[in-house]
Structure 1
Amino acid sequence: MNTAELVELGQQLRVDSVRASDAAGSGHPTSSMSAADLMAVLLAHHFRYDVDRPAHPGNDRFVLSKGHASPLLYSAFKAVGLVEDAELLTFRALGSALEGHPTPRRLPWVETATGSLGQGLPVGVGIALAGKRLDRAGYRVWVLCGDSELAEGSVWEAAEHASYEHLDNLTAIVDVNRLGQRGTTRHGHDLDAYARRFQAFGWHTVEIDGHDVDAIDRALGQARSTAGQPTAILARTLKGKGVASVQDREGLHGKPLKNAEEAVAELGGRREARIRPQEPPAVRMLHAVPAGESEPPEFGLGETIATRDAYGRALAALGSARGDIVALDGEVGDSTRAELFAKEHPDRYFECYIAEQQMVAAAVGLATRGWVPYAATFAAFLTRAHDFVRMASISGTGINLVGSHAGVAIGQDGPSQMGLEDLAMMRAVYGSTVLYPCDANQTARLVATMAGLDGIRYLRTTRGASPVIYGPDEEFPVGGSKVLRSSGQDRMTLVAAGVTVHEALAAADALEREGIRARVIDLYSVKPVDRTVLRRAAEETGCLITVEDHHEEGGLGDAVLDAFLDGRPVPRLRRLAVRTMPGSASPEEQLHAAGIDAVSIAAAGRLLLTEA
């Protein structure tokens, strides 16, 4: 396209953004209008993409980080023939694929769900890492950001990581339109303020007028030719560009234009131009696909092994069996034991340092390219990245998360290091799977199983060593459980997971010496939970005691309770959990102080029977 045609395409994208938002009666047309020229030039001159094959390995990747500007994205879809005009006008309507913020669940051309600002660039880093270090396919990753979201710390985690990895296949296009939701942004139109920040992180920067299509064209070309560092294009734009009543005016964020017909006329009327992005080059996929079953490591009965150690060994073995497995860690690989994978498969290991948001975002980006990521850190620190986990679920992305050093059982490090909210956090994620193994063989089996699951998969591991109680050939289906003690004379059921399984077994032994039989269930699958076994235990024993190294809200106890919310009578139930703020003490002292050790469990069992 020549200059005039590019200008016309930008106007077309503005017009269609106005029309879509007007049809919906809601949306963000002014945020779309500011970036229309940027999108027009990128689409027409620089974006290589086979629209009929969104999975083409050579396709460039586009991430709309400012996801509220979805009218612009859908207008671009119309311009390339992916969306007809009638569908464009279903924007935000019930059943429409054109949601208020784009998601790949409904649209295969969308890489990742956006809308929670500050996430597009971190995920783009993950996609660029796949292209640079794994796929080696030569595709570029273009991320359109808003200036407001540059206040998010996750953006600067991404900026540093991209520079450190020399991701010259990544370009951030920043739409600096000066206006946020409630007024001006922190730096307004000061492009140099943003440039200094990106430069400090090692980026190449270009400052332009974001409505000069020739300048945009040159800047995008410069980004493509820059080697060794990522590029940030800082474009000065006007929100609501082209319509005098809304252009560069405050208080109009997230509102359709009051008179859309007049606005369309002021923009020069409707256009129906169709364009075709450049074809991507022929590319051969280099990474392996799943091939056969993994043989997890085996541990002998009676050995004392920490489940975090079993995780590291199992992941390394899985990586040997499957070339699509990748691992990420947040600079605690010597503790999570992810370092074992790094030693055997350094080309598929990604050190994300102390940047948990970027670690999860990179996992999401890698997953969009067909890789199967395992990302590990202390369970407590995953709370920092929970919004990224939530958005990954909205995307329908499959990632494996591993939280080590969970609960008070870590001992002397104190409460800042204790994951006591993680089970609740992960159970609340849509479509998630939550697993909490108690021994090494169970851990190894579940690590391998996770690779074949959908959605968000979370595995909780333990710092301290525990005895191996399962043989290496034991199976642990997701949604299952293991009944470790059972008899016809059981008067109660102890339900535990992870570290408290061993405490429950010791408590059952103590009670049996007093003539009290207790059933013990290892509820390693916290979500989905084994309702059948729990209901049978309730019917046969009448009393349930849940024991968890976690806060009482949202963890194992609530998971068990959910099994009885179908209208049937709820059994007599006592929940043992961490109810006080722990300090520093030995693991044994911590468990006792929290009331979840064997002595406390046995005492709770006696009291429950007395009450019954």
Structure 2
Amino acid sequence: MKGDKNVDIQALKDIANKLRIDSIVATNASKSGHPTSCASMAEMMSVLFFHTMRYKISAPKDPSADRFILSKGHAAPILYAAWAEAAHQWCWPRVFCLVGDGEAAEGSIWEALHFASHYKLDNLVVLFDVNRLGQSEPTSLQHQMDVYAARLKAFGLHTLVVDGHDVGELAKALDEAAARAGQPTAIVAKTYKGRGFPAIEDQDNWHGKALGAEGDKIIKHLQSQIKNASISLKPQPPLAEAPKVHISDITLSSPPAYKKGELVATRLAYGTGLKKIADTNLR
């Protein structure tokens, strides 16, 4: 993968460390946040935003653009950092959803995976940030990557296990996901909380804490890892324009015809209304 001319490995590594630095700066400024949770997913964000996803910064609501969903919402600082980095430079939209390993123990995640597999949503890629540590203790599965993989395969997802800090492996897995037909893809990334933060990486008791004065030393360390501080990668635009959607001229095929005093189940009336809309708006 390191010889792939389409992947600038060092640039993606440098951007990942830039995102880590910005996450520290943001959480220190607010004296709150989750910099260690951001650090574990830095390479995934770098590869997604600057290698895989197609979008235009100038048109964030373009229906042709790929979509990114941060299910691991407490790591929002690194999402803002990725948008800020991209702004220095956004057929059918593909959808990428990044899930934390803590929330992966919740039933709603598996309901969604079942739905995606049942309907063969091959434009969906779910990335699991398996960084081993939860809010107050290790997660139930920690780094049992084989268990994650077995469960995801059983739910019908094309499943790839990768080193979540290897941008080459990530790029290769995401490229493979793009070529998968008839099946959603799960990328299970083995990561470490606080990756790149000396004396903090993979340690308990740093969840949801700004780094304070310790952050200054860590920023200097991360800056020393960046080979080219001025490097920038431009995201690729969408491959094709999505068809136009008309929502201003929606009409019913016929008006409601209920008799006064007639009792109609709400879901029946709602379904009838939807059908009447579909009858005259099949575009």
* TM-score normalised over the length of structure 2: 0.89
Q: Distance in 2 between matches of 1:4 and 1:304?
A: 67
Using a 3 Å threshold, how does the CA distance of structure 1 residues 4 and 308 change in structure 2: closer, same or farther?
Answer: closer
Letter in 1 for 2:174: L
User: Which residue matches 2:137?
Assistant: 183
User: Which residue matches 1:279?
Assistant: 237
User: 1:320 and 2:279 equivalent?
Assistant: yes
User: Which residue matches 2:176?
Assistant: 222
Using a 3 Å threshold, how does the CA distance of structure 1 residues 193 and 153 change in structure 2: closer, same or farther?
Answer: same
User: Which residue matches 2:211?
Assistant: 257
Instruction: Specify which structure has the bigger relative contact order, considering alpha-carbon pairs within 8 angstroms and separated by 6 or more residues.
Output: 2
User: Which residue matches 2:59?
Assistant: 53
User: Which residue matches 1:75?
Assistant: 81
The 8 Å contact of residues 79 and 273 in structure 1, kept in 2 or not, is answered as: no
State the SS of the aligned residue for 2:87.
coil
User: 1:15 and 2:51 equivalent?
Assistant: no
| Residue 254 of structure 1, CA deviation | 0.4
The 8 Å contact of residues 24 and 35 in structure 2, kept in 1 or not, is answered as: yes
The 8 Å contact of residues 65 and 146 in structure 1, kept in 2 or not, is answered as: yes
Larger radius of gyration: 1
| Residue 138 of structure 1, CA deviation | 2.7
Equivalent residue for 2:269, pick from 272, 289, 310: 310
State the SS of the aligned residue for 1:160.
helix
The 8 Å contact of residues 29 and 240 in structure 1, kept in 2 or not, is answered as: yes
| Residue 283 of structure 1, CA deviation | 1.4
- 1:64-110 deviation per Cα after TM superposition (whole angstroms, max 9, x unaligned): 11011111111101111279xxxxxxxxxxxxxxxxxxxxxxxxx9x
* Structure with the larger strand share: 1
Q: Distance in 1 between matches of 2:77 and 2:265?
A: 51
Letter in 2 for 1:28: H
User: Which residue matches 1:554?
Assistant: none
Gaps of 5+ in 2: 1-6
| Residue 299 of structure 1, CA deviation | 2.3
User: Which residue matches 1:158?
Assistant: 112
Using a 3 Å threshold, how does the CA distance of structure 1 residues 302 and 237 change in structure 2: closer, same or farther?
Answer: closer
| Residue 154 of structure 1, CA deviation | 0.6
The 8 Å contact of residues 288 and 323 in structure 1, kept in 2 or not, is answered as: no
- 1:261-280 deviation per Cα after TM superposition (whole angstroms, max 9, x unaligned): 10101112584543321111
Equivalent residue for 2:103, pick from 139, 149, 153: 149
The 8 Å contact of residues 79 and 272 in structure 1, kept in 2 or not, is answered as: no
Report the count of equivalent residues: 272
| Residue 286 of structure 1, CA deviation | 5.3
Identity %: 42
Letter in 1 for 2:234: R
State the SS of the aligned residue for 1:7.
helix
The 8 Å contact of residues 163 and 190 in structure 2, kept in 1 or not, is answered as: yes
Letter in 1 for 2:103: E
Equivalent residue for 2:40, pick from 27, 34, 39: 34
* TM-score normalised over the length of structure 1: 0.42
- 1:252-304 deviation per Cα after TM superposition (whole angstroms, max 9, x unaligned): 10001131110101112584543321111231415443425434321234655
